[in-house]
Amino acid sequence: MGTTQDFKTISECAQAFPHVTESTLRRWIKNGRIPDDALLITESSQKAGRMVTLIDTEHLKTILKEKAKAKPQNVAVASNGTNQVAGNWEQIKRPYEDFIEFLKQEVESQRLRAEEAEERTREAEQKLLLLTHQPPDESKAKAKGESNLNDWGFYALIVVVCLVLVALMLQQFKYV
């Protein structure tokens, strides 16, 4: 730092240096980027009792020079206030191409998941069909053939009982 120190308020520094805002300066003070020896906290001359933070402009200039060295300049066309987009076509389309590629990958992964789910569904349906619709084995088929004769005999017995009951009823009415 030089021997003569020029201190300015945060808002004056923001006005004097075009690439710095008041919020950036406050954040730099809070984070320690601007050290305490470059700050001066005094009482405000306009409002009694209010404290004001003053920043050494020489120290701020060195911080801004370091920042300018660290950050490369953007190769973009400035907007002239119209709806034109600043930047060349390659810079503009790159994020969109990346996003479109990401969406394509997501669609493909969703399609694969859907195919896998459909395959699992088909397998589950096949297992369910096997559990509920078992083909009859030989003992059941043989039992079914025998049951046909038993069924006919049962039906014949019911018919005989009904005929006997009808005959008894007719005989009852005959004597009344």
Residue 39 clears pLDDT 70, i.e. is over it: yes
Residues of the chain above pLDDT 70, percent = 77
**Number of CB atoms found within 10 A of residue 25's CB:** 22
State the Cα–Cα distance between residues 132 and 129, nearest whole angstrom: 5
State the Cα–Cα distance between residues 106 and 98, nearest whole angstrom: 12
Decide: pTM greater than 0.75: no
Per the structure block, which two tokens stand in for 98? 């990346």
Place of tokens 């954040």: 27
Average pLDDT over the chain reads 79
Which residue type is seen at 142?
A: K
